[in-house]
């Protein structure tokens, strides 16, 4: 199969490299010349474990290549995937589809034979209809079919998620397109990953339903954590106690500082916009968005309260800034709201993140960036663990707190045990567990 992947961002690059690894011939297209130049010399535009090696192997095997020339990539492809960004539109929260529609126009101008056009970008219900309309308008004489194939990979675990998916959702309204998609995914299909064929609109909505449900699940356990703190219960045990019920499931029940990243915040907002447009309000998702927004800054107040309520002139050290580990992504990270709350209250903020500091520097110039967790601790009255990077799970706590002015840790990811902290004489706060 010859595949053209339009967009060499997270989804496009990972999907392109994995499809090439299945044996398909893949060409990834991006308008950004510097990104393509970097890829040509093996430099990844994102940090994702295993990606550089997967790209290297498949480029060496001539199955994967990169270009800025959409027309030549699309002209003889069997399938053309659209994997461009769909950010929140400034002002109203709708998904901004400018890049998707532009890709559709460019594809229609380039194709020379019947081709399946697949939207992998997260797009609101009905986008496939509009893409189809554009294709028909620009290339009325060529048989082009539009399929929705949303992606469910997580940053930091993207390659594994792509190669071992729980399911593959394919929204295709005609049999020829279904056949092409079956061929593309044959290696996974043979590997027992269920292929779920639906209508195009259903597939588009399924993606939003999944992200909104997961965001709600996290928000539910976060509120439960607050209640646990108030009544003296342990949210980790509550999560285990409910998660062992197969109907609930144990995943995405880790209480923390609120969800962030490039997907849940924007997708929940876009889903609300769709619901509004169709006059079917989704109150549960509305509440999720509101509760999560409030929670991020509340975590800043939690740190301030743990420090006695007045942080003016004091130093707070943050471990972890990215929205989750194994990524350099800072988009909608809880750390942004936490840092702002601390700076507003007059604290000095020191921070370390294994991958996110280059981006963090541009977003939060008033933070003092350090080269490791122990450097962060120097002169601090509190350390807050904001992202659960593995290297923060087994810190030398005596050494860490020995560098601090006051021995205090606020563990927003519940990595440590309150009893161990007490033995070391460390004042310890966590999320939803008795300290
Ligand atoms: C999410 C979905 O998990 C993917 O299935 C989906 O494909 C992707 O969005 C997308 O739409 O592209 P991602 O944003 O990479 O993936 O990250 P997640 O691992 O889902 O984490 C999102 C946020 O939830 C993070 O801030 C994380 O810290 C938080 N989280 C997650 C919790 O606070 N508790 C949990 O138990 C799980």
- pLDDT tens per residue across span 220-249: 999 999 999 999 999 999 999 999 999 999
Among 7, 151, 154, which is best to mutate for testing ligand 1, by the most ligand atoms less than 8 A from CB?
Answer: 154
Residues identified as active-site: 263
The DSSP code sequence of 331-356 is TT-HHHHHHHHHHHTT-EEEEE-TTT
- Position 236 scores a pLDDT of 97
Is the CB of 254 inside a 6 Å radius of any atom of ligand 1?
yes
Are 187 and 319 contained in the same domain?
no
280 Cβ contact partners less than 8 Å away, ≥ 6 residues apart: none
Closest C-alpha among 268, 258, 262 to residue 219: 258
Is the CB of 208 inside a 6 Å radius of any atom of ligand 1?
no
Kindly report, residue by residue over 295-312, the tens digit of the pLDDT: 999 999 999 999 999 999
Asked whether residue 190 carries a pLDDT value surpassing 80, the answer given is no
Is the CB of 260 inside a 6 Å radius of any atom of ligand 1?
yes
**In this predicted complex, what is the ipTM?**
0.98
Are 190 and 208 contained in the same domain?
no
CA distance 132 to 147: 9
Give the closest residue (by CA) to ligand 1 atom 12: 263
Are 183 and 212 contained in the same domain?
no
Are 223 and 259 a contacting pair, CB within 8 Å?
A: no
Q: Would you tell me the crossing angle of helices 200-231 and 283-306 to the nearest 10 degrees?
A: 40
Residue ending a domain, among 144, 171, 198, is 198
337 is in an annotated binding site: no
Kindly report, residue by residue over 324-362, the tens digit of the pLDDT: 999 999 999 999 999 999 999 999 999 999 999 999 999
Residue ending a domain, among 183, 198, 213, is 198
- Position 189 scores a pLDDT of 73
Report the percentage of the chain scoring pLDDT > 70: 100
Are 288 and 373 contained in the same domain?
yes
Are 143 and 237 contained in the same domain?
no
Are 135 and 217 contained in the same domain?
no
- Position 5 scores a pLDDT of 98
Q: Domain with 356 in it: what CATH number?
A: 3.40.50.720
Rounded (5°) CA angle 83-42-38: 65
Is the CB of 335 inside a 6 Å radius of any atom of ligand 1?
no
- Position 89 scores a pLDDT of 86
The arithmetic mean of pLDDT across residues 189-208, rounded, is 91
Kindly report, residue by residue over 138-151, the tens digit of the pLDDT: 999 999 999 999 99
Are 302 and 409 contained in the same domain?
yes
Are 189 and 331 contained in the same domain?
no
Among 223, 226, 257, 261, which is best to mutate for testing ligand 1, by the most ligand atoms less than 8 A from CB?
Answer: 261
Residue ending a domain, among 154, 169, 198, is 198
CA distance 232 to 213: 28
Are 214 and 338 contained in the same domain?
yes
Go through 175-212 and write b for each residue having 16 or more CB atoms within 10 A of its CB, e for each that does not: eebbebbeebbeebeeeebebeebebbebbbbbbebbb
Are 248 and 138 contained in the same domain?
no
- Ligand 1 atom closest to Cα of residue 252: 36
Q: Tell me the residue range of the domain where 427 lies.
A: 202-435
Asked whether residue 435 carries a pLDDT value surpassing 80, the answer given is no
Give the closest residue (by CA) to ligand 1 atom 36: 252
Are 233 and 189 contained in the same domain?
no
Phi-psi map region of 361: left, alpha, beta (phi>0 left; psi -120 to 50 alpha): alpha
Q: Provide the pLDDT confidence category of residue 409 given band limits of 50, 70 and 90.
A: very high
Give the closest residue (by CA) to ligand 1 atom 35: 252
Give the pTM.
0.95
CA distance 408 to 425: 9
Asked whether residue 18 carries a pLDDT value surpassing 90, the answer given is yes
CB atoms within 10 A of CB 133: 13
CA distance 364 to 361: 5
Count of structural domains, the chain: 2
Q: Provide the pLDDT confidence category of residue 191 given band limits of 50, 70 and 90.
A: confident
Are 236 and 122 contained in the same domain?
no
Give distance in angstroms: CA of 330 to centre of ligand 1. Answer: 13
- Ligand 1 atom closest to Cα of residue 387: 28
Give distance in angstroms: CA of 380 to centre of ligand 1. Answer: 30
324 is in an annotated binding site: yes
Kindly report, residue by residue over 43-67, the tens digit of the pLDDT: 999 999 999 999 999 999 999 999 9
Give the closest residue (by CA) to ligand 1 atom 17: 154
Asked whether residue 250 carries a pLDDT value surpassing 80, the answer given is yes
Give a three-class secondary structure readout of 25-61.
EEEEECCCHHHHHHHHCCCCCCCCCCHHHHHHHHHHC
Order of strands across the sheet that contains 115-119: 64-67, 25-29, 2-6, 79-82, 115-119, 144-148, 168-171, 195-198
253 is in an annotated binding site: yes
- Position 345 scores a pLDDT of 98
Among 226, 256, 333, which is best to mutate for testing ligand 1, by the most ligand atoms less than 8 A from CB?
Answer: 256
Q: What's the mean per-residue pLDDT of the chain? A: 96
């Amino acid at each position: 199969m010859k595949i053209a992947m339009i967009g060499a961002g997270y989804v496009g690059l990972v999907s392109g490299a994995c499809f090439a690894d299945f044996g398909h011939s893949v060409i990834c297209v991006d308008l950004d010349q510097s990104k393509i130049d970097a890829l040509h010399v093996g430099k990844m535009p994102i940090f994702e474990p295993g990606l550089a090696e997967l790209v290297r192997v498949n480029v060496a095997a001539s199955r994967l290549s990169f270009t800025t020339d959409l027309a030549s990539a699309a002209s003889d492809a069997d399938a053309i995937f659209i994997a461009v960004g769909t950010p929140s539109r400034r002002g109203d929260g709708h998904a901004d589809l400018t890049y998707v529609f532009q890709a559709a126009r460019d594809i229609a101008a380039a194709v020379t034979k019947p081709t399946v056009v697949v939207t992998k970008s997260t797009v609101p219900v009905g986008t496939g209809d509009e893409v189809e309309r554009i294709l028909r308008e620009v290339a009325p004489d060529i048989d082009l079919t539009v399929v929705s194939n949303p992606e469910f990979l997580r940053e930091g675990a993207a390659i594994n998620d792509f190669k071992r998916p729980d399911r593959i959702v394919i929204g295709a309204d005609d049999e020829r397109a279904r056949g092409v998609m079956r061929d593309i995914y044959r290696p996974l299909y043979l590997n027992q990953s269920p292929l779920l064929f639906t209508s195009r609109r259903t597939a588009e909505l399924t993606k939003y339903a999944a992200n909104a449900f997961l965001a709600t699940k996290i928000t539910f356990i976060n509120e439960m954590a607050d209640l646990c703190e108030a009544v003296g219960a342990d949210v980790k045990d509550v999560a285990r106690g409910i998660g062992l019920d197969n109907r609930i499931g144990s995943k995405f029940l880790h209480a923390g500082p609120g969800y962030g990243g490039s997907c849940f915040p924007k997708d929940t907002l876009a889903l609300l916009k769709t619901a509004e447009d169709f006059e079917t309000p989704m109150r549960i998702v509305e509440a999720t968005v509101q509760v999560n927004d409030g929670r991020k800054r509340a975590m800043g107040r939690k740190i301030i309260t743990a420090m006695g309520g007045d942080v003016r002139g004091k130093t707070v050290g943050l471990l972890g800034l990215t929205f989750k580990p194994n990524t350099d992504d800072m988009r909608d990270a809880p750390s942004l709201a936490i840092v702002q709350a601390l700076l507003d209250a007059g604290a000095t903020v020191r921070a370390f993140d294994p991958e996110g500091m280059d981006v963090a520097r541009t977003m939060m110039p008033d933070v003092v960036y350090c080269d490791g967790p122990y450097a962060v601790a120097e002169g601090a009255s509190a350390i807050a663990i904001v992202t659960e990077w593995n290297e923060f799970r087994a810190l030398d706590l005596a050494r860490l707190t020995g560098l601090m002015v006051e021995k205090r840790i606020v563990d927003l990811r519940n990595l440590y045990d309150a009893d161990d902290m007490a033995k070391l004489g460390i004042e310890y706060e966590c999320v939803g567990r008795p300290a």
